[in-house]
Chain A
């Protein structure tokens, strides 16, 4: 039997009837057409499906849409404001933080959770925060630099690259 869910995604209220077995990632991608959230491993290891749920990074391939009833969700599509890239998005562009780009939305959403809890993380703290996100192209160095770029920009430090 379908269940009614009401939730906010990227600032917009939605209401849908979903099958209980609908995964949150499929609801976002297929129902809302927000395809920036990726399905990688589909086993909650790789982190490419990371979104913010009530401000916390979660892997939505291992959540049901019904679990998001009442939640406030931010996906990669919700980060830019009025056409201006979020400092993390800008950082990934400036520091070559992506190659194929598949892991990038998850990396950025995990980094957004990190920066909201720790505005000025050390390199070690950034690497630790990314333990649940896999990148098979970059070797992580430029991803770490991209997040440092964003932290510096948010903290209005001079960006040295």
Chain B
């Protein structure tokens, strides 16, 4: 399979990429690692007239800690995030999530910015980023702005990015040392996408949960924070009965997807199972 013909330009700065996006409008697409975009172009689901390659922009690459915030450049690969000591200590659930995306080869090339811009409803990042209360820094011709991860993912392959905006970085508040966190997913065995993925970040005081954020991906047309499950855990002693009762509420407000991988009923069941696994795993590493 060969993509339709297109033009190619390499941007050397974010400003240049934004300028090129403005110049070419809807005909342009941003190329980072290409591991979401190129397969779509090979299937001719996407036929941009020009690709703007941002992979050489060094300011978009790398992971740093800025005070209480972990800042992950948009061009950072999943593999680099999985192996990062900063991520492991500041937001371990993101390292865990990065490590189960695709396979070794995909993680070596695919980027966090590219993945979230593509916004596949079964991608792994959205649930983890929402559970960590992250925000997405973007740059357009009017300047930069940040969007809460919970507002960024709008629908199937749809984000809150405006025309002409480029993702610059992901800002993640450091997960407190007293918190436990986990990402548990049910793999689609060939594509490795999440049929259901659940991320949980629980702030714990001994066995008492002071704050809970449980988010899902793969379940509905976009990832979401499960407010019911989170509320059922917050300000509770997390005994067996509380965990089970909270998990039973999983995805109860969601419009659940049904497809040839998993029916609506099966996905709802998986959401409960994987909520419980993520909650228990988060408690275990608090």
Quick one: which of A19, A58, A66 contacts B109, CB cutoff 8 A? Answer: A58
When distances are taken between beta carbons in the complex, the residues of chain A under 8 Å from B53 are 66-67
Write out, one digit per residue, whether chain A residues 101-127 have a CB within 8 A of any chain B CB (1) or not (0): 000000000100110000000000000
When distances are taken between beta carbons in the complex, the residues of chain A under 8 Å from B2 are 21, 23, 26
Q: Is the CB of A62 within 8 A of B104?
A: no
Within 1-54 of B, Cβ neighbours of A (below 8 Å) are at 1-8, 31, 34-35, 38-39, 41-42, 51, 53
The answer to whether A17 has its CB under 8 Å from any CB of chain B is: no
When distances are taken between beta carbons in the complex, the residues of chain B under 8 Å from A63 are 34, 38, 109
Q: Is the CB of B104 within 8 A of A42?
A: no
The stretch from A8-16, A43-51, A74-82 touching chain B is A43-51
When distances are taken between beta carbons in the complex, the residues of chain B under 8 Å from A21 are 2-6, 41
The answer to whether A3 has its CB under 8 Å from any CB of chain B is: yes
How far is B39's CA from A44's CA once the two chains are assembled, in angstroms? 8
Within 46-66 of A, Cβ neighbours of B (below 8 Å) are at 47, 50, 53, 56-59, 62-64, 66
Within 24-38 of A, Cβ neighbours of B (below 8 Å) are at 26
Q: Is the CB of A132 within 8 A of B103?
A: yes
Q: Is the CB of B7 within 8 A of A20?
A: yes
Q: Is the CB of A19 within 8 A of B5?
A: yes
Quick one: which of A42, A64, A110 contacts B105, CB cutoff 8 A? Answer: A110
The answer to whether B108 has its CB under 8 Å from any CB of chain A is: yes
Quick one: which of A62, A64, A66, A131 contacts B192, CB cutoff 8 A? Answer: A131
Q: Is the CB of B1 within 8 A of A113?
A: no
The answer to whether B241 has its CB under 8 Å from any CB of chain A is: no
How far is B35's CA from A9's CA once the two chains are assembled, in angstroms? 22
**Contact count band on B:** 20 to 34
How far is B109's CA from A56's CA once the two chains are assembled, in angstroms? 9
What are the 6 tightest A-B residue pairs by CB atom distance, in nearest-first order? A132-B103, A20-B8, A56-B108, A21-B3, A59-B105, A131-B103
The answer to whether A100 has its CB under 8 Å from any CB of chain B is: no
Known contacts A57-B104, A58-B109, A131-B103; A67 and B34 CB within 8 A of each other: yes
The answer to whether A1 has its CB under 8 Å from any CB of chain B is: yes
The answer to whether A7 has its CB under 8 Å from any CB of chain B is: no
Among A42, A43, A67, max chain B CB count under 10 A is at A67
17 A-B Cβ contacts within 8 A?
Answer: A19-B5, A21-B6, A21-B41, A44-B35, A44-B106, A47-B105, A56-B79, A58-B108, A58-B109, A59-B105, A59-B109, A62-B42, A62-B109, A64-B34, A67-B34, A131-B103, A132-B102
